[in-house]
Amino acid sequence: MLSDKIILLDEAASDNQEALGQIADQMTRSGAVKDSYKSAVLKREIDFPTGLATVNIGIAMPHTDAEHVNYDQLGVLRLREPVSFLQMGDGERIQVKFVFMLALKETHTQLAMLQKLIALIQDKASIRQLLLAEKTDEIVETLNNVGIE
């Protein structure tokens, strides 16, 4: 899932569509996803928001259908300043600092990965490590420590 180390730290984005576009572009350049992935994930975010409010920070977990994916990959984007996302379920606006973009070839693996991400965001120490990380390897190590490899 982290083979390509698609990790962008402290990027600037004016809104959620720009933020999603940045990480989707990286995933496309790596070859993990097809050219159709970016537009599919942007459309899906409008129809099915992925923002999630946590105690510390807002997180988004965008994804789209497996047909747009070449191989499993997780992209990580830490924004310099949070941007507004709609929260999944209730549509409330929340400020998101982290985007964990999923590209999964098999739909049955999606639930398992979402469960791992939920466990991660409930772990205050891990979130703190992600917020303070200065290098991509520190992000990878923190994710590996919670079972995301």
With residue 47 as reference, give the H or E element that holds it: helix 37-47
- Asked if pLDDT for residue 108 goes beyond 90, the answer is no
Q: Give the model confidence (pLDDT) of 75-103 as tens digits.
A: 999 999 999 999 998 889 999 999 999 99
Around Cβ 143, how many Cβ atoms within 10 Å? 23
Q: How far is CA 93 from CA 58, 98, 102, 120, 132, in A?
A: 10, 15, 21, 22, 25
Nearest CA-CA partner of 14 in 61, 84, 116, 67 = 84
Q: Give the model confidence (pLDDT) of 31-75 as tens digits.
A: 999 999 999 999 999 999 999 988 778 999 999 999 999 999 999
Provide Rg for the chain, Cα atoms: 14
* CATH architecture of residue range(s) 7-137: 3-Layer(aba) Sandwich (3.40)
- What is the residue type of 60? A
DSSP state of 66: G
**What are residue 73's DSSP bridge partners?**
103
pTM above 0.85, yes or no: yes
